[in-house]
Amino acid sequence: MDSMKKFSQYFGLHPMVGFGMFAVDLMLFSFETATFEVGWLVSIPVGAALAIPSVLIQKYSYQDSWGAAIGKGLLIGVLTAIPTPLPAIVPFLGGVLGVVKMLGSGGEGDAG
């Protein structure tokens, strides 16, 4: 189980980040589809703005190092800004890995 916990720590996201960004990405995609891709003007700033809280949640609630938290937050922000639903799979799977890590650790990773 220790190897699964390490894998989840390296590649997982805090469930709030993973599932939240998944929901935001789907909402932005439906907005972009309805506006015939004019939604890019909204999607890019929203993805960039949500990258900052994602980094902070990863650092303080998921116990990532600063480098890992910044990398994961920026990746999720960029994927959220892309106007297709396919990148939404990444935060969803990251959130699932985060749940696996938190259940395996007895909730230790959920500080705050």
In a domain, 85, yes or no: yes
pLDDT band for position 106 (50/70/90)?
Answer: low
Structural domain includes residue 106: no
The number of residues making up the chain comes to 112
Highest mean pLDDT among 16-30, 58-72, 86-100: 58-72
Q: Is residue 86, in this structure, part of any structural domain at all?
A: yes
Q: What is the model's pLDDT at position 4?
A: 79
What one-letter code names the amino acid at 42?
V
- Three-state SS letters, 87-107: HHHHHHHHHHHHHHHHHHCCC
pLDDT for 57 equals 95
Domain range enclosing 6: 2-101
Counted domains in the chain: 1
**Residue-level pLDDT at 32:** 74
Residues 9/87, Cβ–Cβ less than 8 Å: no
* pTM for this predicted structure: 0.80
| 78 within some domain | yes
Token couple for 34: 């309805």
Residue 111 lies in a domain: no
